[in-house]
Structure 1
Amino acid sequence: MDIDGFPSGLGDRASQMWAEVTEQYDLGAHEKALLEEVCRTMTDLDVLHERVTAQGHTIAGRVNPELVEARQMRIAFARLVAALRLPEDDTDAQPQRRVGVRGSYRLGGAS
């Protein structure tokens, strides 16, 4: 992070996301760390997208390894965003809270 707390090395979309989220919400240190990882992952996804666009989805008849990595990073991105628990709209200024743990599933209903 630089002097202002803005992470260095972010791409344009990730920088915009950082600025919007930190302007709108008062985040704790752990939430800023999560947001930074979200933004870094977004930057990496943008780089991978550019490479796949330039190289194509296949290389020598095989799936482009960068495309495979992008798929994995999208999964990580979705999990990081979910962990950050930002509200879905502007009407609720509080982060979403998860309540309880979902119980195990059983075939044939509860016993």
Structure 2
Amino acid sequence: MSAPAAPRGLGTAGRRLWKAVVEEFDLTEQELALLRQAARTADLCDRLQAVVDEEGPMVAAKDDGTRAHPALVELRQQRITLARLLVALRVPIGEDEEPARTQRRGIRGVYRGAA
């Protein structure tokens, strides 16, 4: 079976992520939907990082001080989102993990319904 084509409009980071995942794993439709969002989020992180690189991490504040650049704050949030999407896909991180996907597990932690 051939790897699914990347969604239109992806940037470099999104295409790189898409290719790395679909060449390694056979994904269900639900997993492909997560991967689409992860690839778009990776592109957004790249665009936000470019803004921070160009304008710096701090901006002037109304009280003559400085504060974190809004793009830096959003970049942090998007990185968290990307990490969560990748965890939901169960993509192994690092060389020590087996390339085979792990078993499916139910929701755990504070999100689990009362027993």
- Shorter chain as denominator, the TM-score bin is 0.7 to 0.9
Shift of 1:62: 2.2
Partners of 1:37 and 1:71 lie apart in 2 by 17
Q: Output the amino acid matched with 1:56.
A: G
Shift of 1:5: 3.1
Q: Hey, what does 2:31 align to over in structure 1? A: 31
Shift of 1:48: 0.2
Partners of 1:21 and 1:68 lie apart in 2 by 28
Shift of 1:17: 1.5
Shift of 1:92: 4.0
Shift of 1:8: 1.5
Unaligned runs of 5+ in 2: 61-65, 111-115
Shift of 1:91: 3.2
Q: Hey, what does 1:13 align to over in structure 2? A: 13
> Is the contact made by 2:38 and 2:86 (CA closer than 8 Å) also made in structure 1?
yes
Alignment partner of 1:94 is 2:101: yes
TM-score of the two chains, using structure 2 as the length reference? 0.75
Over the aligned positions, Cα root-mean-square deviation in angstroms equals 2.1
Alignment partner of 1:78 is 2:89: no
Encode CA deviations 1:40-66: one digit per residue, 9 max, x unaligned. Answer: 100000000000010111111221100
Q: 1:85 to 1:55 in 2, by over 3 A?
A: same
Shift of 1:87: 3.4
TM-score of the two chains, using structure 1 as the length reference? 0.77
Shift of 1:83: 0.6
Q: Hey, what does 2:73 align to over in structure 1? A: 68
Percent identical: 40
Q: Hey, what does 2:50 align to over in structure 1? A: 50
> Is the contact made by 1:14 and 1:42 (CA closer than 8 Å) also made in structure 2?
yes
Aligned length: 100
Structure 1 ranges of 4+ moved more than 3 A: 87-92, 99-103
